[in-house]
Amino acid sequence: QACCIVPTSTFHLSMLRLPAQLPSARCFVLASRLLKRRLAVHGGPLPIISPISWTEVRHPHWVFSVAWSPCGEKLATGCRDQQLRIIDAATGKVELTVPHGNWIISTAWSLCGRWVATGCDDEKLRIVDASSGNIQTEVKHPGDVFSAAWSPCGTRIATGCVDGHLRVISTCGKVEMEVPHGNWVRSVSWSPCGKRLASGCMDGHLRVLTMPASDRQRSELEAQVFLSAKGLWSIAWSPCGQRIATGSMDGWLGFVDTELLTLHAEAQISDWVWSVSWSACSRRLATGSGDGRLRVVDAGTLEIHTDVLHG
């Protein structure tokens, strides 16, 4: 497997929410688990893709997850070979390799850029120093950690686990909250304000929680929206905070209104939607699917602007 990077000057629109002071870091990430698939980074409408503009970082096995650093200069990748890699996005040089106990399914940078959180098949969440590779914190879970997401304030991490629980964990490793779900929690996503938390579950429900204002209060389940009989695989809260995108195993892409907490629109685009990622303007969505295609979808019209075959 490989990590492929396209120079951002080729394109026009950011597909990942990055700091405003970095307008040149206009790109987004799609990770594919399938053997012989590529992991690609693109930006904008992708009118033409030139093979010579790609940088390829070889991995010995499937690349499960990839995440940009907030500064836009580095990538963190999680691989089936049990290694976390920190990569220079400009040169493709692997700067750091950190061994884990099993497959690394999820990677997420803290907003300060110092830490990378990893969710692993060895049932652990780890917080890794991105400069030294030292593991600051390990938190044992009752099952594989499918998803990890930093809160906007950078003090907590939400995890989704195979044991059917969503957890909120402090950076010191304290489990502050556990919320039972009906099945595996495949994906978690914070609202931009950090006051709400969404989860996508294999029971087909999207759940939205209101986070407690203090330690003495409990989280409140605002709603659970049934979207797929085959389960939700990926969710993403829009940067504007108004919608949550969902990708399901039956190939449906959904958009949920975060105020009404109802399904706003949906479209069937493939056989399996593995990954979804919003543009910074919240008008477009990138999807990665089981048919090996990257699609860029207009969130208003559901028109597919770009369709790129991988593999």
Flag whether pLDDT at 11 surpasses 50: no
Residue 117 confidence (pLDDT):
97
Flag whether pLDDT at 124 surpasses 80: yes
* Predicted confidence band of residue 218 (pLDDT cuts 50, 70, 90): confident
Q: Over range 113-124, report the average pLDDT.
A: 95
Q: Over range 258-276, report the average pLDDT.
A: 90
**pTM for this entry:** 0.80
Residue 153 confidence (pLDDT):
93
Q: Are 140 and 149 in contact (CB under 8 A)?
A: no
* Predicted confidence band of residue 64 (pLDDT cuts 50, 70, 90): confident
Residue 223 confidence (pLDDT):
92
Residue 15 confidence (pLDDT):
33
* Predicted confidence band of residue 29 (pLDDT cuts 50, 70, 90): very low
Q: Are 44 and 11 in contact (CB under 8 A)?
A: yes
Q: Quick one: the chain helix, strand, coil %, rounded to 5?
A: 0, 50, 45
Q: Are 92 and 56 in contact (CB under 8 A)?
A: yes
Which neighbouring-strand residues pair with 112?
Answer: none
Residue 63 confidence (pLDDT):
82
Span of 36-50, 69-83, 216-230, 245-259 with lowest mean pLDDT: 36-50
Residue 306 confidence (pLDDT):
78
Residue 215 confidence (pLDDT):
66
Torsion sign across C-alpha atoms 154, 80, 98, 88: negative
Task: Compute the distance between CA of residue 166 and CA of residue 153 in angstroms, rounded to an integer.
Answer: 19
Residue 216 confidence (pLDDT):
64
Q: Are 199 and 166 in contact (CB under 8 A)?
A: yes
| In the block, residue with structure tokens 């690394």 | 104
Which neighbouring-strand residues pair with 67?
Answer: 76
Q: Which of 169, 162, 238, 167 is nearest to 201 (CA)?
A: 162
Phi, psi of 52, rounded to the nearest 5 degrees: -75, -10
Residue 23 confidence (pLDDT):
32
- Measured over all CA atoms, what is the biggest interatomic distance in the chain, rounded to whole angstroms? 57
Q: Are 130 and 76 in contact (CB under 8 A)?
A: yes
Residue 170 confidence (pLDDT):
95
At position 115, the amino acid (one-letter code) is W
